[in-house]
Amino acid sequence: MQSTKKQKNLWKGAEKSQQSFCKESFSLIIPGQEHCSNNCRRKELSKMKFSVQYTFDDLYVAQKLHHASSKKRFIWYFVSMYIFFLAILAQFSVYSWILIFFGVVFWFYPLTFLRFMSYRSFRQAHELHLLTDVQLTEKGMEAKNKLSSTVASWKVFIKAKHNEKVLLLYRTPQLINFFPKRVFADQEWKKLLEMVSKNIT
């Protein structure tokens, strides 16, 4: 109890004297004598806590980034063109109209059907609707909500991808954790990207 009171008094004294306080070693950092500060900064940079409650737009933006590969788009368009070619060979019989339908589906999938599939996935994924608390450390990621708790080492993630709206963390080519930029301040987003680039190669 006495040590706890001393720590609180040191903290208050630091605030009044505009000195900083190292929470890890429970000591004051006096300007010009920053022997503790570098260690504190390293520990602060290696930790990050935030909460996120996903929206449909978050999932849709993540899906768009995931499917943004030009190689994937080329495959979709190639398949649709091949189907149209088969429809012409069928001389517009009943089978040709079926082929044309699937050709249209494949042609517009990256634009329209991806949004529809994202909407369906969001409705079915109940965990996305819950507030999730996330903590990132030197060891990995921990995420908790009312339905589940997940702990994952950085070694679990095989790659990361991001744009100006979302960050994707890949466990497998199809199993992804994602974090929307809207829940972060600019400095927090920068810190998040630095942590990810440091731990996922």
Taking only the tens place, the pLDDT of each residue in 78-89 is 777 777 777 776
Q: Hey, what are 15's tokens?
A: 């605030």
pLDDT bin (cut points 50, 70, 90) of residue 23 is very low
Tens of pLDDT, residue by residue over 140-171, are 999 999 999 999 999 999 999 999 999 999 99
Domain 48-54+130-199 class, CATH top level: mainly beta
Give 59's contacts (C-beta < 8 A, 6+ positions apart): 118, 121, 122, 125, 128, 178
Per-residue tokens: 172 = 């497998």
First to last CA, the chain: 45
Residue 4's DSSP bridge partners are: none
Between CA 122 and CA 118 the distance in angstroms is 6
Q: Which residues contact 194 (CB under 8 A, 6 or more apart)?
A: 45
Q: Which two tokens stand for residue 107?
A: 């042609």
Distance CA 67, CA 114 (A): 9
Give the least confident one: 19-23, 47-51, 123-127, 129-133.
19-23
pLDDT band for 45, please (50, 70, 90 cuts): low
Question: Between 36 and 131, where is the model more confident?
Answer: 131
Residue 150, beta-bridge partner list: 143
DSSP 42-55: HHHHT-EEEEE---
